Amino acid sequence: MEQQLRPKYIIGHSPGPAATQILVRTYGVPGIGFAAPRPRRSRGAIKNSDLCLCVNRDDDAVCELPVSFHHMGHVHKARAK
């Protein structure tokens, strides 16, 4: 039987945080995404979502796209000066 490699943390920026949110759910490891778009169509509980943190600037339009989708995990909105 082959041993599956598993990350300890997942970190993404720009297009990477959408993947980070999805992979946190898949692998069940902590992850952080910077400037994260919204990858989820629905709201509600998702397995391992408490392990994900999205750090988004309040002036970054990418973080609000697509408008009908939702972030996974916790979202911290950093205020731009």
Q: Give the C-alpha separation, 81 to 67, whole Å.
A: 24
Amino acid at 24: V
Mean pLDDT in residue range 63-80: 93
Percent of the chain residues topping a pLDDT of 70: 98
DSSP state of 42: S
H helix runs in 1-81, sequence order: 16-27
pLDDT at residue 1 greater than cutoff 70: no
pLDDT greater at residue 29 or residue 1: 29
pTM: 0.84
Give 18-56 pLDDT, tens digit per residue: 999 999 999 999 999 999 999 999 888 889 999 999 999
